[in-house]
Every structure is written in C-alpha cells, then in structure tokens.
C-alpha cells in the first residue's frame, strides 16, 4: 500500500504568504490544483491521497481564501485589489517561486478563470487541462449564474446579493445540490469553507471578486480562441446537476477541442467530493498519456 505524505507550506509572493499543499515526487508529472469558491486547497485532500504516490501535486490557496494571507481589500483602503486578474497574478508568481513551468492544470469553478489567464500568459507551461465544472462558455451559465455574473459595482442590491451567498445554508447547498449520494459527501468541506468565509474582512473580499466576475465572461472568446489554437490535451468532468454551470458548458468545449475526453457525472457542483473513485483513475490515465519528459518525448503510454 502506497500512501503519500502530504506536506504543508507557505511561500512569499510579492509580500503575500501563499499557503499550499504538496505531495509526490518532484520529478514526477506535476498537477497544479486550482480550487473554486468558496473552497480552498482543502477540497483536494482526497485527490492528493489518491494520486500523490505517483504524481507531483501542488494545491495553493488564493489570497483571501483558506490559509493564505488576506490583505485588506482596496475597497476598504488596503493595497490589494481583489479581482480575477489579481488572483492570476499571485498564482503566476507562485508558479515562478516554486519553479513550476510545466504542468497539468486542474481547473474547478474559480480555478477556470485563474487557470485560463495563466494559460493565455504562458501556453508553454500547460501540459494539459483537467476541467471540472469550470466554465468558459455563455452556454454553460444557468439562470442563477447569469444573475450572479450580472452583478457589478454600482448595481443596486449587488453587494447585498453577494452577502446572501456567504451563509452556511448556501455553502452547504453548493456541496449537496444535485448529489446522487449526499451521504458520501463529508460535511468537513462546507464547514471548513464557512469557517474562512466568516473570518473578519473576508466578506468584502468575496464581494469584490463576485462583482468582478463579469470580467471572465468578457474573456470567454479569448479563452476559446486559445483552446482552438493550442489544442491542449483536455479531460473534462462535469456534474450534470450543477445549479450554476450546466452541462451545455461542458459540451461546448468539444467545439473548440474536438479530441477532449468528456465524462458527465450524476452529481452536482463539487463533483470530486462524490465521484473521486471515478475521477482519480481517469486523471491518472490522462496524465500518463500526456506527460512528457525533459527531452519532449512521452514518458508513458
């Protein structure tokens, strides 16, 4: 039985302490695990247990999430402007600090806009994409998501609308809505998420990011063009009962990356929580097929 050791670290990125979890041999193929809202690297704990004996897995917390620093937002007089560009800036610096210059990016929820920004800036870093309920198409936006993405600074009631999403009831529902077997989903996930959401100052961070989400919709055509141009090896998992990102968003990827591998799962938004036994071995097979060594030749077939 091979059980990996998972280590926990901080690295300084332009004065921000970024927390991350790491497992596996550093000379093995690397997966960069980009978490969603309102979660943190904690959401990847079981995946790291499943794959950390064979692959190098790295899972950071964004600024304002999990155990990473949460600088005072610019909207409250601080120096850090919380936007998706800013999150991508920090994760780009994180990759440089850890010398991650070739990896498969696992992109879930908020991880998609962060990951696609990285990909657009550094296509040479991207060995492949694992996309799990990470949207990049207007077809993938449910009516609920359309209302969310319409919230912008200055829109009446927008901030109050975001605050309504930061309650324990809403956090729990993100995990359980659409789950085929809710008893398989640990309450630790939403309990941990809510702990961090309730910390002083964190609500404004989420308001700022929510009111910036529309910037991602604007970039969808650019990300789609990037996919068409680069044709990265792509593995897609999608919980078909996701109340935010609907199945059409998963299938839209196939228009731009026809060779992508798609698995639609009978679950909701946090598919990994319920479907790890299905997802983990398919990720392993995918990484084995796509990983290359330093000479650019396939390591495994």
How far is the C-alpha of 279 from the C-alpha of 209, rounded, in Å?
A: 29
Show the tokens assigned to 51.
Answer: 């794959």
What b/e sequence results for 277-296 when a residue is b if at least 16 CB atoms lie within 10 Å of its CB, and e otherwise? eebbeebbebbeebbeeeee
DSSP 108: E
Residue where the block lists tokens 């983990």? 280
Residues 6+ apart with CB under 8 A from 208: 73, 74, 75, 81, 82, 83
Residues 6+ apart with CB under 8 A from 246: 139, 140, 141, 142
**Other CB atoms within 10 Å distance of the CB of residue 34:** 27
- Based on the residue annotation, tell me whether 269 is a catalytic residue of this protein: yes
Q: Which positions are catalytic?
A: 269
């Amino acid at each position: 039985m091979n059980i990996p050791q998972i280590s926990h670290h901080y690295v300084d990125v332009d004065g921000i302490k970024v927390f991350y979890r790491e497992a596996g041999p550093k000379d093995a193929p690397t997966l960069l695990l980009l978490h969603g809202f309102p979660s943190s690297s904690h959401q990847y704990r079981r995946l790291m247990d499943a794959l950390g004996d064979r692959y190098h897995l790295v899972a950071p917390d964004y600024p304002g999430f999990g155990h990473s620093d949460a600088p005072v937002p610019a909207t409250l007089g601080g120096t850090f402007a919380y936007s998706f560009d800013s999150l991508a800036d920090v994760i780009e610096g994180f990759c440089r600090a850890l010398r991650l210059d070739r990896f498969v990016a696992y992109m879930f929820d908020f991880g998609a806009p962060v990951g696609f920004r990285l990909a657009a800036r550094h296509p040479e870093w991207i060995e492949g994409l694992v996309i799990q309920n990470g949207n990049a198409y207007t077809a993938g936006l449910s009516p609920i998501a359309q209302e969310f993405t319409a919230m912008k600074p200055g829109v009446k009631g927008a901030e109050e609308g975001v605050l309504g999403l930061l309650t324990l009831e809403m956090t729990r529902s993100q995990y359980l809505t659409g789950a085929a077997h809710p008893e398989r989903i640990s309450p630790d996930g939403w309990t941990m998420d809510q702990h961090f959401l309730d910390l002083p100052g964190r609500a404004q961070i989420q308001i700022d990011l929510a009111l910036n989400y529309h910037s991602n919709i604007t970039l969808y055509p650019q990300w789609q063009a990037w996919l068409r141009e680069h044709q990265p090896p792509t593995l897609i998992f999608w919980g078909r009962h996701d109340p935010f990102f609907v199945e059409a968003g998963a299938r839209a990827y196939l228009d731009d990356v026809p060779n992508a591998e798609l698995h639609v799962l009978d679950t909701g938004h946090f598919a990994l929580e319920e479907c790890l036994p299905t997802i983990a071995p398919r990720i392993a097979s995918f990484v084995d097929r796509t990983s290359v060594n330093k000479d650019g030749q396939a390591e495994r077939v």
